[in-house]
Every structure is written in structure tokens, then in C-alpha cells.
């Protein structure tokens, strides 16, 4: 999610039709007279913050950093946003001085670099002063590269790495390391990091995205599976993800007025056997999430996942009336489309939809409102605004203006 590259599993129209026929599409509508809270949110990723955190080969001086954060927050407030999901842990690292994870290269320059002042606290203070809600966003299982961890050369992740790959830590084909979700120690480490965040900062919640089991390669977890007592490796992996998600949920709910939510990949039909996310259980039972934010990075003409159809399937999946549904939209696809990049997974009719239309986000927002979802979230800040100057991104100007006008008009 946190880079403008979109890998989407290819599910045929026939498979999706079969899925819809086999699943119960009945649901109870919420009372119409009940006023619904609707959030207008945006993801602020490590890539958005990196040029704000850093000035060449050093951390940006305090006054300059604060000024740029104020510009960022002012942009969001002016354009109708009320919620920020701020990336604190993209690769088993930390944007603040942590006792659990190494300093992130995005703020410290390297995993053994120094952090000179608390940039996270400043961001929070500026946002809260402008009445924006801020949630801490982490990637629970994805880590840094093997080279970066070896260079850092210390800490619990390095110790686990030295015990040998294929145990608590796996090496992916993308040359990144990953925590193996089947180990309870991985869950414990993730939860310890979440506790540190909530003890240290007044975030409104904890947010995780779609890095569960990687879809690009298979984990070498045959030994762990055989020792687990499970008969099916899919059930084994889903139980491993369940354990971590429920542990985060329980911890977050020991703090007053904090929430926990997940932003899974948008293709709901592929989650159970692709990412090993038991999404229907999470959205029906208590104890998993307070909200779900699927990344519906699809146009209306997408041949396998047309936006309106997938939106409706997600809305139907939320059986638990205590769980909210927010919809993630991609401004990054607008930017790529304006640059002439085709949407490779959208099919013949949809591949140039983002190039040829400048109101997809606006129409998506209107569909989200019509579906009575609880909010919207844009990926990501730099696709709408230049992080350094604060000026609008020229490639998405028309989409941004139409979208922001809609959210502001709705609020009036």
C-alpha cells in the first residue's frame, strides 16, 4: 500500500460470480434516523514524510521541520480532511527513539542513525491543535532488507536473524525480511511495539495494513505447520494471523477511547487463501477490529473488480454492527494515469480509465456515501500535495479539487 505499485491477483469474472452466489448477501440495514459519523482521512506514508524528516544527509532542523508539518496539516484542514493515518513502522523500524525497534532510515538516514528530536510528537501536536484525529500506522510483519539488518548489527531482530533464516525471520524474493506470523514471539514483539506507541503518544488508535503473509512468494514454514497440530496449512496460517490481530485488539482496548483497524487488500475474494486473512470472521465476530478499511484501488470499468460491485460486497461482509467500514482510494493511480501509465490489471476496457477520466475519486466518494459506509481514506499525501513546498500535485489537481469540493460540500 505504501508505494505506487499495485499487485492484484487475477480473479476471473466467473469466479467472482460464483463467490457471490455461494455467499449469503443478506444484511441488516442500520437505522436511517441514526446520524452516522463519516471520516475524511488520508494516509501519510514514510515516503511522504521522508523529505520532510530529512534535509540531504541530516535530519531537518527543528524549525524547518515544524514549518513543513504545519503546511501539511494546513493543507489537509483546508481541503476537508479530518483524520490522518501516520506511518510509524514500515519495515520493523521506528520514526521515534524506540526500545523495541531500530531507528528508521526514513528519519535517521540509516537503521543505526540518530534521531535528534521527537518529530512524531511535533506532528501530533500540530495536528491536534488543528482538530485532526491521528492514528499510528504500522506494518506488523514486513522488515528491512537483509543487508540493512546485518549493517545495524544489534537488537532482537538481529538476534533472531542470527539464529538462522526460516525460523522467526524469513527472507522474501523481494530481498526484504519478514517476521514469520506462526511464531508467538513475533506476535509478542509486535504487541510490545504497539504498547510502546500508546504509552508514549496520544494517538487515537492503531492501524495496520495489508502486509500479512506475502503473496509474491511462499514462506518456508512446513516444519512449523507439521508441529502445529493443524491438518490444513491455510487454517494454520489464518490462525497465526488471527492471534496477532486479536492480541493487538485486546491491547488497544486496555487504553481509553482508542480503536484498532485494518486496511486489507481490496480484492475481498482473495484474502482468505492469498494473504491468509479470515476477513469474514473478523467482520462478524467481536474481538478482531473496530473498523475495516479495504484498499479499493479500482476504477468503475475494472473487468474483475469493478468499484461499485466490490464496494457492495465489502459492505455486505460487515455483519457486526459494531464494526465501521472506511474505504481506501488511490490518488496514486490518478497520478500514474495522468502520466499515461495503464492500469495493467484492469482489463481491456479499464486499463486507461485513470488516464481518460479526472473525476474517479469524486464518483467513488459519491458511491461510498450512497452505500452508507462510514468514511473514506486517500492514498497518499504526496499524490495530492508536494511534501516540501506544500503545493498541489499537478498530475492530480483536477481529481483532488473535485474530491475535496465534494467532502467540503457534504460537511456544510
- Report the pLDDT value the prediction gives residue 273, as an integer from 0 to 100: 93
Choose between 97 and 2: higher pLDDT.
97
The DSSP secondary-structure symbol of 287 reads S
Mean pLDDT score, 286-297: 98
pLDDT tens digits, one per residue of 43-56: 999 999 999 999 99
How far is 206 from 197, CA to CA, in rounded Å? 9
Mean pLDDT score, 76-105: 97
**Residue 334 Cα to chain centre, angstroms:** 18
Tally: H helices and E strands in the chain:
17, 13
Place of cell 484474502: 271
- Report the pLDDT value the prediction gives residue 160, as an integer from 0 to 100: 96
List of residues 6+ apart from 95 with CB closer than 8 A: 46, 49, 53, 87, 88, 89, 104, 106, 107, 119, 120
- Split at pLDDT 50, 70, 90, the class of 411 is confident
Strand order in the sheet with 176-179: 142-145, 176-179, 169-171
- Split at pLDDT 50, 70, 90, the class of 364 is very high
- Split at pLDDT 50, 70, 90, the class of 210 is confident
pLDDT exceeds cutoff 70 at 383: yes
Strands (E), 322-402: 324-330, 375-379
pLDDT exceeds cutoff 90 at 312: yes
pLDDT tens digits, one per residue of 347-362: 999 999 999 999 999 9
pLDDT exceeds cutoff 70 at 324: yes
pLDDT exceeds cutoff 50 at 289: yes
- 101 in helix, strand or coil? coil
Mean pLDDT score, 201-214: 94
pLDDT tens digits, one per residue of 231-283: 999 999 999 999 999 999 999 999 999 999 999 999 999 999 999 999 999 99
- Report the pLDDT value the prediction gives residue 153, as an integer from 0 to 100: 86
Domain 38-140+181-411 matching CATH 3.20.20.80: the answer reads yes
**Backbone angle region of 229, left / alpha / beta, with phi > 0 → left and psi within -120 to 50 → alpha:** left
How far is 181 from 248, CA to CA, in rounded Å? 13
pLDDT exceeds cutoff 50 at 12: no
List of residues 6+ apart from 131 with CB closer than 8 A: 77, 82
How far is 388 from 55, CA to CA, in rounded Å? 10
- Report the pLDDT value the prediction gives residue 34, as an integer from 0 to 100: 45
How far is 254 from 250, CA to CA, in rounded Å? 7
DSSP letter for each residue of 138-150: E-SSEEEEHHHHH
pLDDT exceeds cutoff 50 at 145: yes
pLDDT exceeds cutoff 80 at 207: yes
Q: Give pTM, 2 decimals.
A: 0.92
- Report the pLDDT value the prediction gives residue 219, as an integer from 0 to 100: 87
pLDDT exceeds cutoff 70 at 10: no
Strands 176-179 and 83-89, by their bridges, are unpaired
- Report the pLDDT value the prediction gives residue 4, as an integer from 0 to 100: 39
Q: Are 41 and 335 in contact (CB under 8 A)?
A: no
- Split at pLDDT 50, 70, 90, the class of 22 is low
In 23-118, where does DSSP find H-type helix? 46-53, 62-78, 105-108
Quick one: which of 107, 104, 122, 4 has its CA closest to 49?
Answer: 107
Amino acid at each position: 500500500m505504501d508505494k505506487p505499485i499495485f499487485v492484484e491477483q487475477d480473479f476471473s469474472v466467473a469466479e467472482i460470480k460464483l463467490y457471490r452466489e455461494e455467499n449469503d448477501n443478506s444484511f441488516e440495514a442500520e437505522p436511517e434516523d441514526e446520524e452516522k459519523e463519516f471520516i475524511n482521512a488520508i494516509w501519510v506514508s514514510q515516503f511522504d514524510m521522508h523529505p520532510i524528516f530529512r534535509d540531504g544527509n541530516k535530519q531537518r532542523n527543528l524549525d524547518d521541520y515544524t514549518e513543513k508539518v504545519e503546511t501539511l496539516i494546513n493543507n489537509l484542514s483546508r481541503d476537508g480532511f479530518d483524520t490522518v493515518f501516520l506511518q510509524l513502522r514500515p519495515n520493523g523500524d521506528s520514526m521515534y527513539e524506540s526500545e523495541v525497534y531500530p531507528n528508521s532510515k526514513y528519519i535517521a538516514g540509516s537503521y543505526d542513525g540518530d534521531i535528534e528530536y521527537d518529530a512524531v510528537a511535533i506532528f501530533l501536536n500540530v495536528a491536534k491543535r488543528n482538530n485532526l484525529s491521528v492514528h499510528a500506522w504500522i506494518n506488523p510483519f514486513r522488515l528491512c532488507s537483509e543487508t540493512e539488518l546485518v549493517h545495524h548489527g544489534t537488537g532482537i531482530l538481529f538476534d533472531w536473524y542470527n539464529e538462522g533464516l526460516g525460523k522467526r525471520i524469513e527472507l522474501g524474493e523481494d530481498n526484504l525480511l519478514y517476521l514469520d506470523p506462526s511464531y508467538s514471539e513475533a506476535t509478542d514483539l509486535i504487541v510490545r511495539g504497539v504498547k510502546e506507541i500508546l504509552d508514549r503518544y496520544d494517538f487515537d488508535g492503531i492501524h495496520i495494513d495489508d502486509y500479512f503473509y506475502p503473496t509474491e512468494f511462499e514462506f518456508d514454514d512446513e516444519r512449523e505447520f507439521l508441529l502445529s497440530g493443524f491438518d490444513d496449512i491455510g487454517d494454520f496460517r489464518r490462525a497465526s494471523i488471527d492471534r496477532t490481530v486479536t492480541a493487538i485488539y485486546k491491547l488497544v482496548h486496555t487504553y481509553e477511547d482508542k480503536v484498532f483497524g485494518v486496511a486489507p487488500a481490496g480484492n475481498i475474494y482473495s484474502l482468505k487463501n492469498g494473504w491468509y486473512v479470515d476477513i469474514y470472521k473478523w467482520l462478524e465476530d467481536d474481538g478482531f477490529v473496530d473498523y475495516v478499511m479495504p484498499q479499493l484501488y479500482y476504477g468503475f470499468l475494472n473487468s474483475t473488480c469493478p468499484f461499485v460491485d466490490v464496494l457492495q460486497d465489502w459492505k455486505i461482509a460487515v455483519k457486526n454492527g459494531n464494526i465501521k467500514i472506511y474505504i481506501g482510494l488511490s490518488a496514486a493511480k490518478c497520478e500514474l494515469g495522468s502520466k499515461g501509465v495503464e492500469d495493467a490489471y484492469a482489463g481491456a476496457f479499464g486499463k486507461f480509465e485513470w488516464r481518460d477520466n479526472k473525476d474517479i475519486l469524486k464518483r467513488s466518494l459519491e458511491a461510498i456515501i450512497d452505500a452508507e459506509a462510514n468514511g473514506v481514506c486517500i492514498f497518499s499525501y504526496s499524490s495530492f500535495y508536494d511534501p516540501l513546498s506544500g503545493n498541489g500535485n499537478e498530475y492530480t489537481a483536477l481529481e483532488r479539487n473535485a474530491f475535496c469540493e465534494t467532502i467540503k460540500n457534504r460537511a456544510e
